[in-house]
Amino acid sequence: MSFRAKFIVSFLALPALVGSASAQMPWEGDWTVTVKGNVGVSPKYPGSDELRAIPYPSLSLRRPGSPQRFSAPDDAISFGLLDLGAFRAGPSFRYVGARKSSDHPELTGLRNVPWTVEGGAFMEFWPAEFARARVDVRYGFRGHEGVVADFAADGVHRYGPWTMAAGPRLVVASRDNMSAYFGVSAAEALANATITQAYSPDGGIRSAGAAASLSYRFSQQWAATGYARWDRLIGPAADSPVPKAFGSLNQFSFGGSMAYSFDTRF
């Protein structure tokens, strides 16, 4: 199992582990467990025009009989510790793969960015049954050590077994995050055969775009979801020589999942 898979399973299974170790509410009792097999296709590194596919599992919990709450496939891993119905908030996590010049010869001479675990918090608001707004702010550990904020809005429509959702996306990043993936020092510019000038980006808006998903529930146990997302690098990220020389300002990602739900007791 890949590190990404282990990371996702360990964090998403955390409530169940806490519940099995504690005799107190709210974790004890009956739960509906949803296990997903996912495949995501996304750029090999920020700014790249090459894609890679990554399979990974995920898991979520809810009380039996309660409706499964909508979550967009591109949401970070999150737990709604505060749930007031129309408003939710709690911790969030995301794993970002490494960028290595040994894997991408065009990046020879540029800095390697180790894999990163981003941790932070999210807030989600439903002003209406069919509308969702979400903000997710995280700080990177080990790889890039910057702040990333994801802003999303979705229109969610349900037609029988079908659930369709779509809406805009905006990513804002700090200078440290921008520098890790889009910055080029003078020494790096000399060491790379293509990039000839140094570049030091500021923080700001990194990308803007849109995402859409379509889910179909075959039964109470089985459901399938497909999604697609487009991001356009703008601002300091778009001015970087990295996507200009080796990639694209248009960043595409897509994927799908198959989910199975069952009841159990902790």
Instruction: State residue 26's pLDDT score.
Output: 56
Determine the pLDDT at residue 96: 92
Residue 208 pairs in a beta bridge with 170, 232
pTM of this structure: 0.84
Q: How distant, in Å, are the alpha carbons of 36, 40, 180, 239 from that of 199?
A: 41, 31, 11, 9
The predicted structure's pLDDT at residue 80: 82
Cα(first)–Cα(last) distance of the chain, in Å?
26
What ranges do the domains of the chain cover?
Answer: 68-252
Q: Which helix (H) or strand (E) holds 225?
A: strand 222-233
Measured between alpha carbons, how far is 132 from 124 in angstroms, rounded to an integer? 7
pLDDT for position 19: 43
Using DSSP, how many helices (H) and how many strands (E) does the chain show?
5, 12
SS (H, E, C) 126-183: EEECCEEEEEEEEEEECCCCCEEEEEEEEEEEEECCEEEEEEEEEEEECHHHHHHHHC
24 contact partners, CB below 8 Å, separation of at least 6: none
pLDDT at 132: 97
pLDDT at 65: 77
CA 121 to chain centre: 13
Ramachandran sector of residue 191 (left: φ over 0; alpha: ψ -120 to 50; beta: rest)? alpha
* Separation CA 15–CA 12 (nearest Å): 7
Tally the residues of the chain.
266
Q: What is the pLDDT along the chain (266 residues), one digit of tens a residue?
A: 444 444 444 444 444 444 443 344 556 778 888 899 999 999 999 999 999 998 988 888 787 877 778 889 999 988 888 889 899 999 999 999 999 999 999 999 999 999 999 999 999 999 999 999 999 999 999 989 999 999 999 999 999 999 999 999 999 999 999 999 999 999 999 999 999 899 999 999 999 999 999 999 999 899 999 999 999 999 999 999 999 999 999 999 999 999 999 988 87
H-helix segments, the chain: 3-12, 14-21, 175-182, 186-191, 241-246
